[in-house]
A and B are shown apart, each in its own frame.
Chain A
Amino acid sequence: MLGFIIQRFMQAVVVMAVMSVIVFCGVYAIGNPIDIVIPPEATEEIRLNTIRRLGLDRPLYEQYFIFIGNLLQGDLGRSFVYNVPVLELIGGRLPATLELVLISVISATVIGVSLGIYAGYRPDSWLSKTIMAVSVLGFSVPSFWVGLILILTFAVNLGWMPAGGRGDTVEILGIEWSFLTADGLSHIVLPAVNLALFKLAMMIRLARAGTREIMLTDTIKFARAAGLSEATILRRHLLKLISIPIITVFGLELGSTLAFAVVTETIFSWPGVGKLIIDSISVLDRPVMVAYLILVAFLFVTINFVIDLVFALIDPRIRHGASA
């Protein structure tokens, strides 16, 4: 068990190192930020000074090592545009994004798995067919379009919910939360639904496919032959067997939802990191881009690592080292 954890941890470290190189090269190697940061009418002296100040005159590998050195000290550089430390910039926006993402993914999983199990258990009922039709829609319809329709319907036409912004927040543990105030909650509902819809569709499909396959296995037939009630079979056997793929996808989706939040945040003017990164891309604010990507990569790796640990806890085969 300990060996397994160490092995996975080393893997995570290697992946992070590789990611940092790729991200750094990808973002720094192409394009010329100087033109953006420095006004064209600036004198040659200001130009050179700025270039030196930002470290853009050094060779790429040197820039990388400086970057990594600073990174390890928690310094991700300063934004070209806002001229504040990037970490501060992102840190200030992160809670809003995390709140949105967590609420979306958790509700999508709980609802999606329940619906998916039902649809897999009774594949021929009309309700299952409806669930599946809706999930095809949720899967197919681009997220930004759903956002637009949500705004058009609930904000513009019905006026039930605000079209954007975060609303009132409460500070708990030094972090602002929206979902604890009535106003904040009304602001988070639409973006959360928007962000959750795709994940919901995905969870439904996953749970349905898993259920259909598992219900045909000998394990279930044997349980039936032993006289277990269908409720017990679903609760004790199926749920346990289906949990592994669900947890895997849950983790992966947590990461990708973070990325998709970019779209949702743009539509609903949600003041999170997603909106920040879109703005930064359009003005080529590299330190912000790099820091964001490294952060996302870090979150991904961390999530994967945690999922491996969870697997080890729930799957006896891994826990006992039967397979790695």
Chain B
Amino acid sequence: MTDPVLSVRDLRTHFFTRAGVVKAVDGVSFDLAAGEILGLVGESGSGKTVTGFSILGLIDAPGRIVEGSVMLNGTELTSLPEAQLRARRGRDISMVFQDPIATLNPMLTIGQQMRLAINAHEKLGRRAAEARAAELLTQVGIPSAEARLRSYPHEFSGGMRQRVAIAIALLHRPSVIVADEPTTALDVSIQAQILYQMRDLAAQTGTALIWISHDLAVVSSLATRLAVMYAGRIVEQGPTATLLRDPRHPYTAGLIASLPATSKPGEPLAQIPGTTPSLLSLPPGCPFAPRCARQTPACTEEPALTIEADRGWRCFHPVGQMHEEPA
């Protein structure tokens, strides 16, 4: 494997609230190769969005990255001064958000917003900037792009707004884009369009994607690798096909079993019993233990990372390996 464009090691982002310390991200590690699409899957509250924001250094108070490293193209981002970090945001790494209605400024035209994003990193004349903006809009599938530069966000549909947001994220051809559930707020038919368009764009430009989603079905059709998050940790990661066919962590297995496609018609969908634990009162050891059918007293210890070829998991009693002793 070539050097990864992005390498996250033992990332910990905690929120220091009135009620206590919320360990939203608590020891996340992964690598991202150029052009790769990593699906970051988990229930809401599992820390996937915070992971995304942490990578870009966009954590607001009372949150803070307390530990860990984020290496982008060989540069450590967590210790970078804000000005230098800003110079990389949007240029080397950018982000697309969940709700396109909330992300674009309703008071500025699409053209103005795109020019702001261009001028943040490059001093281009108005003409040249508009030409670049129009080019990107055309690329993401917005017809008569030049005329649309003078439009305001409210004149676009939700799907079109998200395309604009994607175009802004792509403006400087970053090596990584963090996409935080960019299709969740859209109609199903538009979801698929945008999904595949983004995959193609990433492939064309060599941009690596981190695709954050709670929907395993969506991510697995797109991502080359999957990372499954639970309670602030990645409990299992590996190539998409391998993970889907042969999950190790009981939580991954549960997610796969609850996919509508895997259940037989007429039978109820499988569910994972219980609910996501509060991050304020996590049980010691494996956070999934209280909901896990394979739980044993050993689970009160923190399970170490087991690595096997190109995959890894954190579980004492992995699925499909019952005959083996826990590592």
A140 within 8 A of B: no
Instruction: Tell me which of B89, B108, B152 contacts A225 (CB under 8 A).
Output: B89
Q: Output the least CB separation between B311 and chain A (Å).
A: 30
A315 within 8 A of B: yes
Q: Which of A239-274 contact B (CB under 8 A)?
A: 240-241, 243
B86 within 8 A of A: yes
Instruction: Tell me which of A124, A219, A320 contacts B105 (CB under 8 A).
Output: A219
Bound: A243/B105 CA distance, A: 13
- Mark the stretch among A12-20, A150-158, A227-235 that contacts chain B: A227-235
Q: Output the least CB separation between A230 and chain B (Å).
A: 8
* Number of A residues with CB within 8 Å of any CB on chain B: 26
* Number of B residues with CB within 8 Å of any CB on chain A: 38
Q: Judging by beta carbons under 8 Å apart, are B95 and A227 in contact?
A: no
Instruction: Tell me which of A227, A243, A322 contacts B86 (CB under 8 A).
Output: A227
Q: Judging by beta carbons under 8 Å apart, are A228 and B99 in contact?
A: no
Task: Give how many A-B residue pairs fall within 8 Å (CB-CB).
Answer: 93
Point out the residues of chain B lying under 8 angstroms from A240, CB to CB.
105, 107-108
Q: Judging by beta carbons under 8 Å apart, are B89 and A227 in contact?
A: yes
Instruction: Tell me which of A216, A223, A232, A243 contacts B60 (CB under 8 A).
Output: A216
Bound: A295/B169 CA distance, A: 54
Q: Judging by beta carbons under 8 Å apart, are A217 and B108 in contact?
A: no
B78-100, CB under 8 A of A: which get 1 and which 0?
00000000111111001101110
A58 within 8 A of B: no
Q: Output the least CB separation between A27 and chain B (Å).
A: 44
Q: Output the least CB separation between B326 and chain A (Å).
A: 41
B160-188, CB under 8 A of A: which get 1 and which 0?
00000100110110000000000000000
Point out the residues of chain B lying under 8 angstroms from A243, CB to CB.
107
Q: Judging by beta carbons under 8 Å apart, are B58 and A221 in contact?
A: yes
Q: Judging by beta carbons under 8 Å apart, are A320 and B155 in contact?
A: yes
Q: Judging by beta carbons under 8 Å apart, are B152 and A317 in contact?
A: yes
Q: Output the least CB separation between A113 and chain B (Å).
A: 16
Q: Judging by beta carbons under 8 Å apart, are B154 and A227 in contact?
A: no
A3 within 8 A of B: no
Bound: A305/B135 CA distance, A: 42
Beyond A240-B108, A317-B106, is A226–B155 a contact (Cβ under 8 Å)?
no
B54-69, CB under 8 A of A: which get 1 and which 0?
0010101100000000
A314 within 8 A of B: yes
Q: Judging by beta carbons under 8 Å apart, are A227 and B165 in contact?
A: no
Q: Judging by beta carbons under 8 Å apart, are B121 and A225 in contact?
A: no
Q: Judging by beta carbons under 8 Å apart, are B90 and A227 in contact?
A: yes
Q: Output the least CB separation between B314 and chain A (Å).
A: 30
Bound: A218/B98 CA distance, A: 9
B319 within 8 A of A: no
Q: Judging by beta carbons under 8 Å apart, are B108 and A226 in contact?
A: no
Q: Judging by beta carbons under 8 Å apart, are B107 and A227 in contact?
A: no
Point out the residues of chain A lying under 8 angstroms from B90, CB to CB.
225-228
A224 within 8 A of B: yes
Point out the residues of chain B lying under 8 angstroms from A124, CB to CB.
61
Q: Judging by beta carbons under 8 Å apart, are B104 and A219 in contact?
A: yes
Q: Output the least CB separation between B111 and chain A (Å).
A: 13
Q: Judging by beta carbons under 8 Å apart, are B102 and A315 in contact?
A: no
Q: Judging by beta carbons under 8 Å apart, are A314 and B107 in contact?
A: yes
Bound: A96/B304 CA distance, A: 80
A237 within 8 A of B: yes
Chain B residue with minimal CB distance to A224? B58
Point out the residues of chain B lying under 8 angstroms from A228, CB to CB.
86, 90, 116-117, 120
A316 within 8 A of B: yes
Point out the residues of chain B lying under 8 angstroms from A126, CB to CB.
none
Q: Output the least CB separation between B177 and chain A (Å).
A: 10
Point out the residues of chain B lying under 8 angstroms from A219, CB to CB.
102-105
Bound: A222/B172 CA distance, A: 15
Q: Judging by beta carbons under 8 Å apart, are B89 and A222 in contact?
A: no
Chain A residue with minimal CB distance to B82? A230
A236 within 8 A of B: yes
Residues of A within 8 A of B (CB): 124, 216-219, 221-229, 232, 236-237, 240-241, 243, 314-317, 320, 322
For the A-B complex with A218-B103, A240-B105, A241-B106 known, give 14 more contacts whose Cβ atoms are closer than 8 Å: A217-B102, A218-B98, A221-B97, A222-B97, A225-B97, A226-B168, A226-B169, A227-B88, A227-B117, A227-B172, A229-B120, A237-B105, A317-B106, A320-B155
Pairs A-B, 5 closest by C-beta atoms: A227-B90, A316-B152, A225-B95, A226-B90, A227-B89
Could you write out 20 A-B pairs with CB less than 8 Å apart?
Answer: A124-B61, A219-B102, A219-B104, A221-B97, A224-B58, A224-B86, A225-B56, A225-B58, A225-B94, A225-B97, A226-B89, A227-B86, A227-B120, A228-B86, A228-B90, A237-B108, A240-B108, A241-B106, A243-B107, A317-B152
